[in-house]
A and B are shown apart, each in its own frame.
Chain A
């Protein structure tokens, strides 16, 4: 159950994508996600698809891992595709009693399917090649200008990275508490919905108690290691734009130009 979450699971590597400044990755991921929603024609789809594939290959992340991120989305993909098939009007392709599948509907479904797949792949490519620490660092630096209007950029980034750090720990803990309560006669999977929800109280209370205790101890550990907020802090891996980021940005712009340039003509 825990292992199915690809998001936030960094895969160590030394590919150019791994070495990019996290800021470059965050910005370009956002740009590419927008681009995915702007593409319309078949050539555009093919180009976008190829580009995503090239990025995956360059990143040397095993395709299997990247595709795993799609698993939890299979259901949504399927439903949205179905909705499109049945409810988009147009030229009839097949008609089975009250259900009509239209040509336009089918196209829309296929398009949407590929859009969502590309979207997820781009997002997981970022999380798979960036350590959560680097990611939060990047977010912190990108949000730095907002500190002037009172946004606590450093604190937000710190909270995000601690949350990521403790996800596996708390997952394990949940499993352990569920087993312990089950051995005391707790029953999680029979009865009405109401009683099932109620049956989680014996899990949630200890989980919260322990989470607070962990938070308390972590705060002590951080304090005793001289943590005092973002002021005066340096970084082991200080992020910096390098020629690699410049090259990537130029290549990215070139790709966007190729992708959408024809529309301008």
Chain B
């Protein structure tokens, strides 16, 4: 097999703007080889150097030391520059920032146009690659009307039109919703299988790594683990050391082993897990032991709880009276209770964001009423409302603007006419809660890392001490460790300060582990609103709204269908491990301990 990518002890460093600062070693001695036709996933936390590595492959950056060979050509030889970029295409993270042209087909044609391909041939290539990514019916469309997943498929088509041998995707799925991610992953596997295009996918979604031929884990500029997905995920400690996580099924098996269940192999997907469990349970009585754990008695105390936000028949129509008129909310009535964590889920475009923007009066209902903390949300009350209900948008770090972190955090507070002592008290309270180091307060927010920026942006809302905190996809783009830390902060905030939290997320595992109740939106309507356990017990219904359930929940359902009777639904890995361990150990008479 021929090597598409080969690097030899490659180093790259970024120089900081400040003169006395140490340069940052982004890539710190990487040697690797990727063969023709492979599907390789590179995993790593934000800032682990994986994006720099992608740019070294494409000769957008040249190594400070060491050599990168692409199809046998050395990247720092300028003669080969265009050939290297033709053979190895790069798809970037943000779908919006890599589309050049104003129609889909003209954008796909951009690469071949630059290569000087004759017009008739460009036409043929454009038509055939659009078919490959399943976007042929959008040829004449304007790209900004497409969904994120569609935009990324266009970007892939644009690379394919240059007839590359290899495509490198730098976190290209991280800004997509689950269905968009699925679309892109299907296209990539198809291209790898049928067209023998080498794929190098950089990501921090573990599930995308399961189906790869090989996985490499990067940490601090180095490749710390290399191997088949099974080998990598079998080494849970090392994966977690790198700030990453393993698929839920693997984590479940790992916890079971810790509880003393003898599993011979670590399964990495659902069918393997079922197989493993069947073997363990084989030839044993299918008697379900008494395994109702404590949390099944948990009941929503919401009936007694006090309402903090009440919506009655709320409708919202965008651009009424124009051809673009669109009913974004249709007769939504719901209640958010004081002190709860409410999850809001729904397919992209189902009206989730529109809904929560009504909570703090950013949007006014076309009809219907909204009561917040006993006050009707209208007219003069709106301003007061915004300090009661804090709303954190997607990618909140994009709203930072002040010279220093301190000034940015206090931006909203200054309008409340508080004395400086009180302001200071609040700032220090919030940064302690969010784990922002006080040293950062006098730095420019633009110097911080992505994760730090997000915390600062969240701090700017938290200092207003809102009674309700609304977050629109707070973990989008964060790596597993960053997400976990943020979720810890949120549950602490809920527990200690009693802050009511409303959270929009596409990540069902996050919702299941954090939320007390879940509201499900579909095409502007609230179709379901109940305790998390009840909502996720209706997986068929959720599926019809193009929504998933957490992987553990799905596994337990599949197990029931296999005839293994279990008290479904299970929401978290911990619950699942407890139940399965009891089941197996109960059946084996405790011999496994």
A binds B: yes
Q: Is B114 within 8 A of A169, CB to CB?
A: no
Cα-based distance from A179 to B94 in the complex (angstroms) = 21
Cα-based distance from A223 to B61 in the complex (angstroms) = 11
Which residues on the B side are within 8 Å of A238 (C-beta)? Answer: 119
Chain B 121-165 per-residue mask, 1 if CB under 8 angstroms from chain A, else 0: 011001000000000000010111000000000010011001000
Interface-side segment among A32-40, A93-101, A204-212 = A204-212
Which residues on the A side are within 8 Å of B230 (C-beta)? Answer: none
Most buried by A among B101, B391, B411: B101
Q: Is A206 within 8 A of B401, CB to CB?
A: yes
Q: Which residue of the partner chain, among A206, A222, A226, contacts B398 with CB atoms under 8 Å? A: A206
Q: Which residue of the partner chain, among B100, B155, B401, contacts A222 with CB atoms under 8 Å? A: B100
Number of A-B contacts (CB under 8 A): 161
Most buried by B among A168, A222, A224, A235: A224
Q: Which residue of the partner chain, among A10, A132, A161, A183, contacts B390 with CB atoms under 8 Å? A: A183
Interface range on chain A: under 10, 10 to 19, 20 to 34, or 35 or more?
A: 35 or more
Let me know if A91 is at the binding interface, CB within 8 A.
Answer: no
Which residues on the B side are within 8 Å of A177 (C-beta)? Answer: 398-399
A residues 207-232 in Cβ contact with B at 8 Å = 209-210, 213-214, 217-218, 220-228, 232
Q: Which residue of the partner chain, among B97, B103, B460, contacts A184 with CB atoms under 8 Å? A: B460
Q: Is A184 within 8 A of B111, CB to CB?
A: no
Q: Is A236 within 8 A of B106, CB to CB?
A: yes
Let me know if A52 is at the binding interface, CB within 8 A.
Answer: no
Which residues on the B side are within 8 Å of A180 (C-beta)? Answer: 391, 393, 396, 398-399
Residue of B whose beta carbon sits closest to that of A224: B90
Q: How far is the CB of B320 from chain A (nearest CB, A)?
A: 13
Residue of A whose beta carbon sits closest to that of B387: A185
Known: A131-B102, A177-B398, A226-B111. A214 touches B58 (CB 8 A): no
Q: Is A233 within 8 A of B103, CB to CB?
A: no
Let me know if A202 is at the binding interface, CB within 8 A.
Answer: yes
Which residues on the A side are within 8 Å of B109 (C-beta)? Answer: 235-236
Let me know if A162 is at the binding interface, CB within 8 A.
Answer: yes
Known: A169-B144, A182-B362. A217 touches B119 (CB 8 A): no
Q: How far is the CB of A217 from chain B (nearest CB, A)?
A: 4
Residue of B whose beta carbon sits closest to that of A171: B144
Q: Is B319 within 8 A of A182, CB to CB?
A: no
Cα-based distance from A217 to B172 in the complex (angstroms) = 13
Most buried by B among A12, A176, A209, A221: A221
Which residues on the A side are within 8 Å of B86 (C-beta)? Answer: 226
Q: How far is the CB of B352 from chain A (nearest CB, A)?
A: 15
Q: Is B398 within 8 A of A10, CB to CB?
A: no
Which residues on the B side are within 8 Å of A64 (C-beta)? Answer: 323
Q: Is B106 within 8 A of A131, CB to CB?
A: yes
Known: A10-B142, A184-B461, A234-B122. A224 touches B399 (CB 8 A): no
Which residues on the A side are within 8 Å of B383 (C-beta)? Answer: 187
Q: Which residue of the partner chain, among B58, B391, B464, contacts A224 with CB atoms under 8 Å? A: B58
Chain B 385-422 per-residue mask, 1 if CB under 8 angstroms from chain A, else 0: 01100111100101111000000000111011000000
Known: A184-B412, A235-B119. A221 touches B98 (CB 8 A): yes
Chain A 163-177 per-residue mask, 1 if CB under 8 angstroms from chain B, else 0: 011001100000011
Q: Is A185 within 8 A of B85, CB to CB?
A: no
Cα-based distance from A183 to B468 in the complex (angstroms) = 12
Cα-based distance from A146 to B89 in the complex (angstroms) = 35
Let me know if A237 is at the binding interface, CB within 8 A.
Answer: yes
Cα-based distance from A187 to B382 in the complex (angstroms) = 11
Known: A183-B360, A185-B412. A131 touches B103 (CB 8 A): yes
Known: A225-B111, A234-B113. A218 touches B97 (CB 8 A): yes
Which residues on the A side are within 8 Å of B323 (C-beta)? Answer: 64
Q: How far is the CB of A65 from chain B (nearest CB, A)?
A: 9
Known: A179-B357, A224-B60. A133 touches B113 (CB 8 A): no
Which residues on the A side are within 8 Å of B446 (C-beta)? Answer: 209
Chain B 67-97 per-residue mask, 1 if CB under 8 angstroms from chain A, else 0: 0000000000000001001100110101011
Q: Is A233 within 8 A of B113, CB to CB?
A: yes
Q: How far is the CB of B87 from chain A (nearest CB, A)?
A: 11
Q: Is A226 within 8 A of B101, CB to CB?
A: no
Q: Is A183 within 8 A of B119, CB to CB?
A: no
Q: How far is the CB of B525 from chain A (nearest CB, A)?
A: 23
Q: Is B105 within 8 A of A233, CB to CB?
A: no
Chain A to chain B contacts (Cβ below 8 Å), 14 pairs: A176-B393, A183-B386, A185-B386, A185-B464, A217-B92, A217-B97, A220-B90, A223-B60, A224-B90, A225-B100, A227-B110, A234-B112, A234-B119, A236-B122
Kindly list 13 other residue pairs between chains A and B, CB separation below 8 angstroms, not including A220-B60, A234-B116: A132-B102, A133-B102, A168-B144, A184-B461, A185-B416, A206-B400, A209-B398, A210-B398, A213-B97, A221-B98, A223-B60, A225-B114, A228-B82
9 A-B pairs with least C-beta separation: A185-B412, A221-B98, A205-B401, A236-B109, A217-B97, A183-B391, A184-B412, A226-B114, A180-B399
